[in-house]
Structure 1
Amino acid sequence: MQTLKTFLLAAAATLAVVTSAFAADTLKMGIEGAYPPFNNKDASGQVVGFDVEIGNALCAKMKVTCEVVTSDWDGIIPALNAQKFDFLISSMSITEERKQAVDFTNPYYSNKLQFIAPKATNLGADNESIKQALNGKTIGAQRATLSGTWLEDNWGDAVTVKLYDSQENAFLDLASGRVDALLGDKYASYEWLKSKEGQNFEFKGEPLPGDDKIGIAVRKDDPLREKLNEALKEIIADGTYKKINDKYFPFSIL
């Protein structure tokens, strides 16, 4: 099963010579398309969500047209470096390992990791109690994410870690009882808990320590990074960002 480290090695192996994409009239933005409410496909197959709307707002400020290109999560950094798209806006955490393969803009939102499990399951009030209650059980997370890496590094000796190719598949297994709990991004879990499938589940414990910063990735040394940073400042200053934020969340995620 692919780890974050092998994921990044594959990305580095596909690094292409950087050419600036900003000279073009159209920019392609890479998105997974399986991570609601940030990015997912609607009934017509169109990719929608917070990431898409932020990306379109940035392109509007840069006076270019945006096109969405979807990619499986495991191969999304290699696809960027292979020039399948010009920038990657898919709720990706900024990490030192990933920064070896790509450059990131300033964060466009912040996130926390938190456990979710059935409401009827008493796991205690804190994360240490949760670990004891889930000893020997199975916890799910999406592969090649902070959640999956954290579970393997910190609780791998106490629980069975089951990794998924998408967050949607992880939620499906939680709902069907094939895992006992999930660790995931708080805001994606927040959206799922409001759904029919998630109504019998809830957050458990407190968010894990640490602030997870989410950035837009570009190829190494691409000047598009600074153009995106300038556009991000503009949409925050003129209220565009808040309007998009408020469409998806009743609180600020910036």
Structure 2
Amino acid sequence: MSNKCIIFSVCALLLTTSFSGFAEKTFLVGADLTNPPFQFRNKDGNPDGFEIELTNALCKSENVKCIYVVNNFDAQIPALIARKVDFILPLGLTPKRQKAIDFTDYVFHLPTRLVAKKDSNIMPQVKSLKDKIIAVQQGSIQEAYAEKYWRPAGINIKNYQDPEAIYEDLVANRVDAALCPSVAVSYGFLKTHAGENFELKGPEVTDADLFSKGSAFGVRKGDYETKTLLNMGLDNIMRNTTFSNIQKKYFGDQDLKVK
């Protein structure tokens, strides 16, 4: 091989290496898009909502591309473990989930509340729930609570794949109440025309063994690179005005940050 050819080959290799070094990293993000205003499809069919905007801002701050992979909520963790996605949108850090996957730093906190018709005397207590049908989302911490405390007491628990189906059955009187994240049900249902006859009932429902202090992005066990990158991006949007601006857009002055 001539010296000229050798020089050309080396230069081509250097150019290829240089350009590949600048290639944008892509992450596949698990989402279910059935929980407005946190995540949903907009009128154009694209992912949208509070969590989507936060994730987009986080990815932008770290110069990575994020593509959403849509699946049912209760399929998010299995999809992550099976490497079908690189991380999943925020969910509560429950002890059970922490055995299966890792989490980033906290993103926000959502209290759990019972929602029912305004003229109903129903409360989140076993005695009040006798002979009632209570809706919960599959795979949620609300489902875990209802299955631990309410079903064994003889209360009818009905499981749903997504919140929108729960709201439809509340309006249609197919269930008497639903146990939900309060902020999600307030802005995704109670503030809509369909939910105008419903309200939150009783105090926040809590359980130290089941509920978490807050929600965070889910990552695979041992994936420290992704966890570190997400935490850096989260810290960036928390320190500047990005997080607070997106929060205000969807929830006004309500503060969702974990204290």
2:217 aligned residue: 216
Question: Percent identity among equivalent residues?
Answer: 32
Q: Please report the TM-score for the alignment, with normalisation by the length of structure 2.
A: 0.83
AA paired with 1:46? Answer: N
AA paired with 2:63? Answer: K
2:140 aligned with 1:166: no
- Any unmatched runs of 5+ in structure 2? 1-22
2:192 aligned residue: 195
TM-fit CA distance, 1:132 = 2.3
Q: Please report the TM-score for the alignment, with normalisation by the length of structure 1.
A: 0.85
Deviations 1:24-56 (A, max 9, x none): 522221111111111011222111111111111
TM-fit CA distance, 1:83 = 2.1
Deviations 1:52-105 (A, max 9, x none): 11111110111112211111112111111222221111x411112111221100
Q: Tell me if structure 2 keeps the 8 A contact 1:112–1:212.
A: no
Measure, in 1, the Cα distance between the counterparts of 2:122 and 2:49. Answer: 32
2:103 aligned residue: 104
Measure, in 2, the Cα distance between the counterparts of 1:151 and 1:239. Answer: 38
Measure, in 2, the Cα distance between the counterparts of 1:252 and 1:212. Answer: 14
Match of 2:247 among 241, 245, 248: 245
Count, aligned residues: 227
Deviations 1:145-166 (A, max 9, x none): 1111101111111410111111
Deviations 1:191-250 (A, max 9, x none): 110011111100000111355410101111112101111111111111110001001102
Instruction: Determine which structure has more spread, i.e. the larger CA radius of gyration.
Output: 2
- Any unmatched runs of 5+ in structure 1? 1-22
Q: Secondary structure at the match of 2:95?
A: coil
Q: Secondary structure at the match of 1:109?
A: coil
AA paired with 1:67? Answer: I
Moved more, 209-218 or 176-185: 209-218
Measure, in 2, the Cα distance between the counterparts of 1:147 and 1:78. Answer: 19
2:66 aligned with 1:66: yes
Moved more, 106-115 or 72-81: 72-81
Measure, in 2, the Cα distance between the counterparts of 1:68 and 1:123. Answer: 39
Deviations 1:166-204 (A, max 9, x none): 111111111100000000101111111001111110000
1:177 aligned residue: 173
Regions of 4+ moved over 4 Å: none
1:83 aligned residue: 83
Q: Tell me if structure 2 keeps the 8 A contact 1:175–1:197.
A: yes
Q: Tell me if structure 1 keeps the 8 A contact 2:59–2:65.
A: yes
Measure, in 2, the Cα distance between the counterparts of 1:132 and 1:158. Answer: 10
1:143 aligned residue: 138
